[in-house]
Amino acid sequence: RRAFDHRAGMSPEARTLLAALSPCIQADPIDDRVCEERLLAAAQRSPRSAHLWFELARHRWNRTGSSTEVIEAFERALEADPRFALALFSQGQALAYLGREDEALATIERCLAVVPGATTCLRDRVWIRAARGECDAVEADARSWRALAPEDAHPLNYLASGALARGEPMSVVGE
């Protein structure tokens, strides 16, 4: 609600986004359908706005789950800004949830090319590779993830699982 009080100082794109989201922010009850219609209209009026296409994709995903329409909106965001890391990460997840793992991995590779230290992209690559049973690749990624985020315990779980799968003794697994 404070955003509405400060909209005069916002960029035109931010004001457009705020107006499009108002049925989801100010309405009681929230009107997701109108919000989506406004986001779509705003994105179509500004086809080079990566942010508006991204917000449309996120809104659709939150509303209905991963779908072709969500992927298409993320793709439009990436056409506008091919280095939009958050859109790459999100599109990779959406593709994975649809079972389009090869496309998801390709998108995740693009994310990591843009931001080599993006542990969220690396985490999703580990998750997909683990589901595929690509143990060596999972371990290599888990080691990279651990080096990038030493405070994160999640890569240790993947490393321990790999050691268990190889039949390593518990003393090795515990390391």
Q: Decide: 114 and 81 in contact? Cβ < 8 Å.
A: no
- Helix, strand, coil tally for the chain in percent (to 5): 75, 0, 25
Calculate mean pLDDT across residues 129-154: 94
Pick the more confident residue, 172 or 131.
131
Calculate mean pLDDT across residues 121-150: 94
Residue 26, amino acid: Q
| pLDDT value of residue 27 | 66
List Cα–Cα distances, 20 to 23, 32, 63, 77, in angstroms. Answer: 7, 11, 15, 17
| pLDDT value of residue 111 | 97
| pLDDT value of residue 23 | 74
Please give the structure tokens belonging to residue 74: 């993320």
Q: Decide: 54 and 86 in contact? Cβ < 8 Å.
A: yes
| pLDDT value of residue 174 | 75
For 61-105, write each residue's pLDDT tens digit: 999 999 999 999 999 999 999 999 999 999 999 999 999 999 999
Percent of the chain surpassing pLDDT 70: 93
The mean pLDDT of the chain is 89
pTM of the model: 0.85
Pick the more confident residue, 131 or 7.
131
Polymer length in residues for the chain:
175
